[in-house]
């Protein structure tokens, strides 16, 4: 049984509460946009693709039982609620891209006189529901492209050791995962000697979620602390680092989970290729560089406490950015469902591919 972070059927949405993992496996109902905003903001569901899918599906379940007096009313509902969902977390771009696409679809359908209000609603539901399957097939393609790129870049033949950060697997997506999809594909090809995952303080996506997925899938894996990466790359003959992305700027600068940047610096020092694996919906060609990415800062409590237990001295100030930006110069390749791109050629090649 593969892990499922999102369960959806027409009019019904549930998410696996990631605040409770790995101790408890419990699904919570998302009954509409207000619930959707809250589960994203509280990080009961997290990971850039999963945020976008849950956000859009929360709107789908809200409009499913409703009838609308006009297409204009439905369009206003779609636009207002999607823009609200974008505000739940600012760094990952996937929700914003999905919102913009759905709003422009709603605008087109409002103008199209051959479509009535019920058909417009159904079209919105169909396209939103299709996000689940598309995300899984994109992840499978990312896995295949990424495994090939990692093996080509490795200085040796045969199974490789890789390092990953944060959680980019089934729990962060509709299934299979992005960077963890690359790891899964290497394993399927019998080319994974070992995967190391970082604990990823302070939310511990690595220790709680990635480790959970790796144990669940019986992959050869070891957990390391964030502070061990330099020692690991020196000692363990790691062939490549593969991480996910929350937003890739047009020049290839990449925002991802806090700690990614220092891993990239250490990888460069050790001559270890550093790959970013992400769907095209994580690429934001609207911003020229990582300087334009808003970095979410989260409550001090995530640093000062582990669960209910205080670990930091009372009264100490905290700085808790949830993401950092890795400069393009440290990135070997950006693995997408449509191929692997050098950061420097990203804008040109993706624009050509998408006919922009
Ligand atoms: O704060 P999170 O847990 O939402 O951050 C997740 C990450 O940074 C992931 O690496 C990224 O979203 C890619 S998930 C496929």
Mean pLDDT of the chain: 97
Helix (H, G, I), strand (E, B) or coil at 286: coil
Burial class of residue 19 in the structure, from the number of CB atoms within 10 Å of its CB (0-12 exposed, 13-18 middle, 19+ buried)? middle
What span, in angstroms and rounded, lies between the C-alpha atoms of 292 and 286? 10
Last residue of a domain, one of 136, 159, 193: 136
ipTM over 0.90: yes
How far does residue 103's CA lie from ligand 1's centre (Å)?
25
CB 261, CB 182: distance < 8 Å: no
pTM of the model: 0.97
Q: What one-character DSSP code corresponds to residue 176?
A: S
Q: Is the CB of 244 under 6 A from ligand 1?
A: yes
Shared domain check, 64 and 39: yes
In this structure, what token pair is assigned to residue 120?
A: 């417009």
Last residue of a domain, one of 115, 136, 157: 136
Shared domain check, 306 and 188: yes
How far does residue 262's CA lie from ligand 1's centre (Å)?
16
Q: Is the CB of 326 under 6 A from ligand 1?
A: no
Question: Per-residue pLDDT tens for 274-299?
Answer: 999 999 999 999 999 999 999 999 99
Question: Per-residue pLDDT tens for 56-97?
Answer: 999 999 999 999 999 999 999 999 999 999 999 999 999 999
Task: Match 């996000």 to its residue by tokens.
Answer: 131
Question: CA distances (Å), 264 to each of 209, 234, 309, 327, 330, in order?
Answer: 22, 14, 32, 9, 6
CB 128, CB 102: distance < 8 Å: yes
Shared domain check, 128 and 160: no
315 is a domain residue: yes
Residue partners of 52: CB distance under 8 A and separation at least 6: 92, 94, 95, 97, 98, 131, 281
Q: Is the CB of 322 under 6 A from ligand 1?
A: yes
Shared domain check, 169 and 131: no
* Rg over CA atoms, the chain: 20
Last residue of a domain, one of 108, 136, 164: 136
- Return the number of other C-beta atoms located less than 10 Å from residue 101's C-beta: 14
CATH code (residue 171): 3.40.50.10470
Shared domain check, 115 and 253: no
12 is a domain residue: yes
246 catalytic residue (yes or no): yes
Q: What one-character DSSP code corresponds to residue 208?
A: I
Cα maximum dimension of the chain = 66
CB 150, CB 160: distance < 8 Å: yes
Question: Per-residue pLDDT tens for 24-55?
Answer: 999 999 999 999 999 999 999 999 999 999 99
DSSP for 98-112, written as a single string: HHHHHHHHHHHHHH-
> Per DSSP, what are the bridge partners of residue 29?
14
Shared domain check, 343 and 200: yes
1 is a domain residue: no
Taking the CA atoms of residue 187, residue 198, residue 222 and residue 160 in that order, the dihedral angle to the nearest 10 degrees is: 40
What span, in angstroms and rounded, lies between the C-alpha atoms of 253 and 143? 21
* CA-322 nearest atom, ligand 1: 1
* CA-256 nearest atom, ligand 1: 8
DSSP for 288-352, written as a single string: SSGGGPPPPB--THHHHEETTEE-SPTT-----BSEEEE-GGG-SEEEETTEEE-GGGHHHHHHH
* Structure confidence at residue 143 (pLDDT): 98
Shared domain check, 265 and 152: yes
> Which residues form the domain of 349?
144-354
319 is a domain residue: yes
Q: Is the CB of 260 under 6 A from ligand 1?
A: no
Q: What one-character DSSP code corresponds to residue 124?
A: H
CATH code (residue 31): 1.20.120.420
175 is a domain residue: yes
Shared domain check, 158 and 71: no
Q: Is the CB of 168 under 6 A from ligand 1?
A: yes
* Structure confidence at residue 1 (pLDDT): 60
Terminal CA-CA length for the chain? 40
- Return the number of other C-beta atoms located less than 10 Å from residue 193's C-beta: 17
Shared domain check, 228 and 126: no
The continuous run of DSSP H or E covering 231 comes out as helix 229-235
* Structure confidence at residue 287 (pLDDT): 97
What span, in angstroms and rounded, lies between the C-alpha atoms of 272 and 287? 28
Specify the number of domains making up the chain: 2
CB 254, CB 331: distance < 8 Å: yes
Give pLDDT < 50 ranges for the chain: none
Shared domain check, 210 and 115: no
Shared domain check, 273 and 234: yes
Shared domain check, 124 and 149: no
How far does residue 50's CA lie from ligand 1's centre (Å)?
9
CB 63, CB 32: distance < 8 Å: no
């Amino acid at each position: 049984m593969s892990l499922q972070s999102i369960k959806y059927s027409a009019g019904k949405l549930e998410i696996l509460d990631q605040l409770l993992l790995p101790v408890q496996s419990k699904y919570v109902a998302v009954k509409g946009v207000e619930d959707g905003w809250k589960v994203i903001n509280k990080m009961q569901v997290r990971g850039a693709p999963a945020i976008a899918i849950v956000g859009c599906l929360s709107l789908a379940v809200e409009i499913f039982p409703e009838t609308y007096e006009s297409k204009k009313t439905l369009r206003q509902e779609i636009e207002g609620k999607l823009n609200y969902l974008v505000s739940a977390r600012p760094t990952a771009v996937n929700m914003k891209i999905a919102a913009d696409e759905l709003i422009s679809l709603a605008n087109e359908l409002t103008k199209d006189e051959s479509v009535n209000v019920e058909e417009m609603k159904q079209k919105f539901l169909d396209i939103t529901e299709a996000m689940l399957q598309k995300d899984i097939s994109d992840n499978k393609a990312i896995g295949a492209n990424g495994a090939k790129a990692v093996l080509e870049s490795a200085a040796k033949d045969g199974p490789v050791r890789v390092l990953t950060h944060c959680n980019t697997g089934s729990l962060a997506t509709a299934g299979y995962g992005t960077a963890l999809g690359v790891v899964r594909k290497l394993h399927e090809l019998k080319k994974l000697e070992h995967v190391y995952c970082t604990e990823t303080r302070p939310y511990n996506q690595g220790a709680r979620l990635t480790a959970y997925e790796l144990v669940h899938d019986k992959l050869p894996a070891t957990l390391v602390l964030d502070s061990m990466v330099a020692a690991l790359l020196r000692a363990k003959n790691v062939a490549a680092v593969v991480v996910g992305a929350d937003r890739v700027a047009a020049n290839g600068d990449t925002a991802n989970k806090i700690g990614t940047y220092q891993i990239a610096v250490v990888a460069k020092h050790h001559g270890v290729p550093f790959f970013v694996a992400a769907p095209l919906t994580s690429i934001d060609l609207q911003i020229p560089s990582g300087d334009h990415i808003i970095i979410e800062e989260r409550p001090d409590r995530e640093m000062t406490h582990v669960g209910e237990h205080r670990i930091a001295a009372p009264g100490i100030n905290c700085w808790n950015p949830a993401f950092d930006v890795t400069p393009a110069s440290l990135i070997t390749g950006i693995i997408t469902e449509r191929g692997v791109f050098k950061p420097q050629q990203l804008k040109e090649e993706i624009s050509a591919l998408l006919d922009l």
